[in-house]
Amino acid sequence: MDIDEAPRTRMPAAERRELILRDATAVFAANGYGGTTTDLVAKAAGVSQPYVVRMFGSKEKLFLAVLERAARLLVETFRAAIPGPDGEARRERMGMAYVALIAERGLHQVLMQAFLLGGDPVIGPEARACFLQIWQLVRDEAGM
């Protein structure tokens, strides 16, 4: 190492995991659940396929983590839009917040993929729990 070179620092595992989930969201959105492989996710994230499997365990568990992240982002976004005048103004804020999530590439499509997988014995219950959480937030916290 040259004296002028700074030592390389490793990315923290939590940060790497978030980056993989972000890239996996885009890959699942583009290819669907059936058309996505852990290899495609690894290539998009710039890591090895074994690393993805080691971190998540399987494609199914990776998708569940992607779904959990999508639901968390949607809930956080809706929750941030709730304060302020209620009624039509609140509906408008929440609608605009939902539209703003388009910048989170693939998030809406992943939610759609989860809905389509509602009959899957593992993904289906998790997808329903995700949608229930969102519905309860809109009903109970937003009063809609």
- Interval 100-132: pLDDT, tens: 888 888 999 999 999 999 999 999 999 999 999
What is the spatial distance between Cα 105 and Cα 101, in angstroms, rounded to a whole number? 8
Q: Are 78 and 93 in contact (CB under 8 A)?
A: no
Distance, CA of 137 to chain centre: 18
Average pLDDT of the chain to the nearest whole number: 91
In the three-class reduction of DSSP (H, G, I as helix; E, B as strand; rest coil), residue 12 is classed as: coil
In the chain, the domains with their CATH numbers are 13-141 (1.10.357.10)
97: closest CA among 107, 113, 32? Answer: 107
- Interval 3-39: pLDDT, tens: 566 565 677 888 999 999 999 999 999 999 999 999 9
Query: Kind and range of the H or E element at 138?
Result: none
Torsion of CA 65, 70, 76, 79, to 10 degrees: -130
Mean pLDDT computed over 28-52 = 97
Considering the entire predicted model, what is its pTM?
0.86
